[in-house]
Amino acid sequence: MNTLATAPLSPLLERLFTEADAATSPAVAEMSRDERQRLMQSKTEYLDFYERLKDLWLPVSRETGRLLYMLARAAKARSVVEFGTSFGISTLHLAAAVRDNGGGRVITTEFEPAKVARARQHLAEGGLSELVEVRAGDALQTLSSDLPDSIDLLLLDGAKSLYAEVLALVEPRLRPGALIVADNADNSPEYLAHVRAPASGYLSVPFADDVELSMRVG
Ligand SMILES: C[S@@+](CC[C@H](N)C(=O)[O-])C[C@H]1O[C@@H](n2cnc3c(N)ncnc32)[C@H](O)[C@@H]1O
């Protein structure tokens, strides 16, 4: 069973990656590189920053998408949490893996309402809606309650400045051996210091296309 490589998901992802590549944002074009870097690391201005980026899809790369599917399959993940849905490209990969593992639930969260609506539409097109709960709002609220007792895989792909806070919310539910994939983690030095610290309860390595791959130990 490989939902990723078959219709309707395979042609849908090809179309969505192409649309994502073509998306532009005048607001971002006007932002200097320094300003963008500063806002990306801010713990107080992240909502404003991502509101300005709302026209951009900012998806995981095609390779990271495939990697997510492979890791979730290898971990036999049936309970997945994602921070940062955007238009749903990474969510589609994770939900495909959960389906091919025999079913389960992906909880994903996004605060931008237009993105939530498009992500739900794409999940319906991919035939994966019944596996995914899209929580609309700030992850610091939406992931602070009603999490599954045991979580097999966590994808961090929202505001980089919040990776450590979101991990702290989910951490009590991560099963031993759970995987944490943090995209573009180089922009989150606080998070990297935490998961790489020997006493933190994780094993962690930089991996693939600007990803930090960590495993909950014990
Ligand atoms: C890099 S994009 C996610 C891309 C998505 N994972 C994919 O591969 O298609 C980051 C998304 O996280 C959302 N986001 C950022 N901070 C958030 C927060 N605190 N709560 C919920 N969503 C947030 C942004 O609006 C943006 O759409």
Nearest to 113 by CA among 141, 138, 80: 138
Strands (E), 111-165: 132-136, 151-156
Tell me the mean pLDDT in the region 146-160.
97
First-to-last C-alpha distance (Å) of the chain:
31
64 lines ligand 1 (CB under 6 A): no
pLDDT at 217: 95
Pairing mode, strands 105-110 and 151-156: unpaired
139 lines ligand 1 (CB under 6 A): yes
Q: What is the pLDDT of residues 1-51, one digit of tens each?
A: 799 999 999 999 999 999 999 998 888 888 888 988 888 888 999 898 999
What's the CA angle centered on 49, arms 156 and 84, to 5 degrees?
20
Q: Please, what is the average pLDDT of the chain?
A: 95
94 lines ligand 1 (CB under 6 A): no
Q: How far is the CA of 115 from the centre of ligand 1 (A)?
A: 9
Nearest to 121 by CA among 85, 158, 68: 85
Q: How far is the CA of 216 from the centre of ligand 1 (A)?
A: 23
212 lines ligand 1 (CB under 6 A): no
CA dihedral 69, 165, 198, 193 (to 10 degrees): 90
115 lines ligand 1 (CB under 6 A): yes
Q: What is the pLDDT of residues 94-112, one digit of tens each?
A: 999 999 999 999 999 999 9
Distance of CA 75 to the CA centre of its chain: 17
pLDDT at 145: 97
Q: What is the pLDDT of residues 58-91, one digit of tens each?
A: 999 999 999 999 999 999 999 999 999 999 999 9
The CB-side HSE value for 167 (13 A sphere, CA atoms) comes to: 27
Q: What is the best residue among 45, 47, 80, 110 to mutate for testing ligand 1's pocket, by most ligand atoms within 8 Å of CB?
A: 110
pLDDT at 1: 76
pLDDT at 208: 83
CA distance 37 to 31: 10
pLDDT at 119: 98
Q: What is the pLDDT of residues 44-61, one digit of tens each?
A: 998 989 999 999 999 999
Tell me which residue has its CA closest to atom 14 in ligand 1: 158
Q: How far is the CA of 84 from the centre of ligand 1 (A)?
A: 3
Q: What is the pLDDT of residues 181-214, one digit of tens each?
A: 999 999 899 999 999 998 999 999 999 878 999 9
Tokens of 19: 């649309």
Domains of the chain by range and CATH?
3-15+58-216 (3.40.50.150), 23-52 (no CATH)
67 lines ligand 1 (CB under 6 A): no
104 lines ligand 1 (CB under 6 A): no
CA distance 80 to 98: 8
Tell me which residue has its CA closest to atom 1 in ligand 1: 58
Q: What is the best residue among 13, 56, 58 to mutate for testing ligand 1's pocket, by most ligand atoms within 8 Å of CB?
A: 58
